[in-house]
Structure 1
Amino acid sequence: MWLPGMKIVHDIDSGDHKYITSWRNPNDPAPGDFSMRIENEGLPEVVIWREKMKWFRTGKWNGLCFSGGPRFPNPILKPELVFKQERLISISEIFDSSNLVRFTLETSGTLRRYTMNVRRNKWNLAFTAQVDPCDEYGQCGPNGICRIDKAVRCECFKGFAPKFQEDWDRQDWSGGCVRIRPLNCENGDSFLEVRGVKHPDMLQYWLNKSMSLKECHDECLRNCSCVAYANPYITNGGSGCLMWFGELVDTREYPGADSLQNMYIRLPESELDSSIDLEEKNKKRPIELILISIASGVLVSGLINGSILLMTKRKRRGRSNEDLELPLFKFATIVAATNNFSMENLIGEGGFGSVYRGRLLAEGEIAVKRLSRTSGQGLEEFKNEVILIAKLQHRNLVRLLGCCIEGEERMLIYEYMHNKSLDYFVFDQNQRTILTWPMRFNIIMGIARGLLYLHHDSRLKIIHRDLKTSNILLDGNLNPKISDFGIARIFGEEQSIARTKRVVGTYGYMSPEYAIDGKFSVKSDIFSMGVVILEIVSGKKNRGFNHHDHYHGLLGHAWLLWKENRFLELIDECLNDTFIESQVKRCVQVGLLCVQKFAEDRPIMSSLLLMLGTDGAILPEPKEPGFFMERSSSIVRSTTSTSMMSQNESMTITDLEAR
């Protein structure tokens, strides 16, 4: 329940996060399936989650209101919204003793506001956030729009058709829509105005808060990846530029709603031309049709030969890239963006090559991963990473903007992460103090959500195989994003385990069954997750860990402390003033459950996330961790298996041959 004076908070700087949860059922006040939180991805909004899936969102803040809700203030709703640097920090209902109100997040996920009629001693329902089926998140699937005033509420945007027509006919719209004709960026696209809508979710986007609508139109037209654009704000006559890439999800129409916004969807010119009224076309005289037919016949014979030659050239050029489904950048463009790969733009190096910071007009700041010609990541791994990430969309996965393939050059272009990788903070004596315990716990939860998406919620079932702190990138708000899918693998719907003779990954994060027998599954990723959790809690690396009382690694050290109920000794010393004991205990216990020796003992991601996020839950006792053995004191400071380690500590074993 949310009462006047209470605040919903999302403050990254202070690490303060407060949200509402539903009851388990009407008679049990234990936390239920639904929670309501502030989200600040791109633009602020309020989102109701059903466990880890979006259930409802208000739409983004447009300067006056949330685009899917009423303007503020109004006779019913008068919330107090606090912004800091255009981020929504808190929402509260101002206390008014003359007007008793309460908000309730029902067990069904519906948010309701009640007012008290003192004279009749009765609570009256004054407002419901979700008023119709179109408020359900993604009701019409990708590239569909929900129109509640229509007999069939889901429609495809113009220029799109149902992806699965039979499902659509049965009113199962979850598959959404796909383009009827591909865009034709080089030879001219245009835009169709869609009026009075709640804008699609900002899953893949670019935002500029000062552009005019005309500048936004031109910018979207120049970028072949841009599929739609709009003004994000309705203040000052409409300002800013919001561009979408990929699929348009969770769009609904509000007929006659003047407070809501318009958007402009990119279509081939041929699709826009087809909107000419058919009756007008039928008014053409028969002689005109005859003349057109004769002219067409003359032209066709001349065009066919030229078209065949042109198509052959294009097929040859595009055959190697057709599976990538991602924008291709020219090498010259990337050279200019990185100032010819200058040293001042170099932000990282590894066995794969180098990473450079750059800037593109449309994408803003970017990170360019330029593969070395001697890289262990070959063309197969490169294409694997491109194909996988292009199909994945989640706020805790790094966003791939495009790639470059010219000659021997292979580059991946990512969104730029201002705060580098997690290991830069956790293991650095100076930087680690920046990460307070609330920040670290938020990072752990974010990584877990990203891994849950890979294992269970995405269209593909992905095994990452190289989850580690250096592959967790942090954005400007220190939100974690899983990166580097070069050795990831897709599993089939019913597949649970696979085996390889070529073991690739990083020593210290690999599970025993993978490192020794080449067996990998979701449980090998879980093992890596456990190592990452314990590293975040302790501020110590698993590989090379030393302790004056014994010769165990970090996993063994954590296990010994847990058995003696001394788990607080594992905490990074710089967290002594900020840690929450119950959360630390849960993280250590969950970390140890993840690194248990046998794969079948480890939890799956959905259980792991529930255990991490549920205060007071009774968790199972962990068993002995993998690699629980004391090392000889003579080799404790030496590097194990150095003959199998590359410069970035990655290990490959192929029938006992080094990579």
Structure 2
Amino acid sequence: MAILPCFSIFCSLIFFLSMKVSLAADTVIPASFIRDGEKLVSSSQRFELGFFSPGKSKSRYLGIWFRKVPDTVVWVANRDRPISDHNAVLTISNNGKLVLLNQTNGTIWSTNASSEVKNHVAQLRDDGNLVIRDNSSVNTTENYLWQSFDYPTDTLLQDMKMGWDLKNRRERYLSSWRSDDDPSPGKFTNRLDIHVLPKMCTFNGSVKYTCTGEWTGDGFVSALSNTNFLYKQFLVENQDEISYWYEPYNRPSIMTLKLSPSGFVTRQLWNEDSNEWDELFSIPDDYCGKYGYCGANTICGPDQKPMCQCLEGFRLKSQFNQTGPIKCERSHSSECIKGDQFIKLDNIKAPDFIEVSLNQSMNLQQCAAECLKNCTCKAYANSNVTEGSGCLMWFGELLDASRPIRNFTGQSVYLRQPASGPDKSKDSWLPLFSLASVAAATENFSMECKLGEGGFGPVYKGRLLNGEEVAVKRLSSQSGQGLEEFKNEMLLIAKLQHRNLVRILGCCIEQGEKILILEYMPNKSLDVFLFDPTKKRLLGWQARIGIIEGIAQGLLYLHHYSRFRIIHRDLKASNVLLDRDMNPKISDFGLARMFGGDELQGNTKRIVGT
């Protein structure tokens, strides 16, 4: 009987030691508690979980930090629910939730994981991830019921993913603290922006504060520096996720990507010798790193003077306010009919993807041709910087272009510029269209777009890339009317301006083609109405009189009021076109003859209609 007290003391000692071991382990099991002053420690001794007070605050929070750097907290549970005393405890509830309770067992914070299974445990892993799992299952990510890595924090740890879990419709992003003393959510978030192409953006509320360029395969443009030999970056895109993460090459090293309360994203490496953080980079800088700092159609460069300059092809609208955003406008007309070229801007951060189109199957040459066909396309570049493939085209305003600072890398962007000298035909000063743009407008001169055919050749309905409908008149190679008639009509119509004459928009003379681009007349020609038994009933006397008067006004202008006395010589119903309101417009000047002011007649060897 005398040994019973000794046995009791021994059992108590074993229980006490087992409790101490449990409290020093990396897991919380049901019916066990983590109290203020006690900690969980990951198996590698890398991370600790416990209660802390940030900065000068007296409030208590449950958080995770590096064991070697206890003042660097990387995750906080009760961010917006501070504890006012030291009496809170962490435990696993009966339904498998991880809960933070006050001294009256009221819930301060809890996870959303719950199940009828009673065998749940919470574990602090070696990568700093706090997880809840079924203790009887294999320790794999797929069996986690909840993990802290899925929820916003201000620090991205190595191997911690940031981006979009498409399978579970969840976004992982960084959320700044309100201040160094207050871990509640602040104004700034840092996210993987997957609009068009992935890039990293920091937002002040819903407004962009700073953005990197696109992914290069090794990192993001303007955030890829020569310190990359210290770590490897990854971006994965598949049907389940679009995610970014990084790994230091020296695995035992301590590295973070941290979003500060003031919106700065800093990559830092713990220096074991000096026991302090070494800053590898911090963005944005004071000026060019801030989103759209210089304004639209500009490029910002900390090493250029002035720092904000208009992109080539744009000019400064005002000479004032040079210390901040400037206003830049096109230095030449942006009409589709201009013949333009491109200049290459090397090593820049491309403009933001505000109004862009993306085609991953094109090469750079095809991209240039496609952009050139559309006057609203202002720039193009490879969409895949690493492989030099794909096509990205910019439309609208060009915002947030910059020259990367110091050792950051950029990419090449091709900017639209006006051709040297006026791009007009020699005789008529008519705008020139490329054959590619005309073919695109008419679906490669398809039969579905064909409106009709006359002695000149076929006429097609087309739609320019700016949406404008046009009539495309293509000179037939078999036509007896050749280049002389084409030049004549081109010259005459370009010099004539009257509401009852068809307006010419341009021409194309590439690869032996002779094509006129004319305004489109929805009601086609007068003969369609006059000689159709059904449609001629639509022409009442008032409409007929209006058409006759319009034709007469057009002829009067040609014969008397224009700068040149012009005889049409082929006026007939098929050459009188009708607009949407049935207003007549005279067309087909291929056989017209220009007379001097004192000429009353002329001779010709050609047989013409009347």
TM-score normalised to structure 2 length: 0.43
Considering fraction of residues, name the structure with more strand: 2
Higher alpha-carbon Rg: 2
Higher relative contact order (CA 8 A, sep 6+): 1
Q: Report the TM-score, using the length of structure 1 for normalisation.
A: 0.40
Larger relative helix fraction: 1
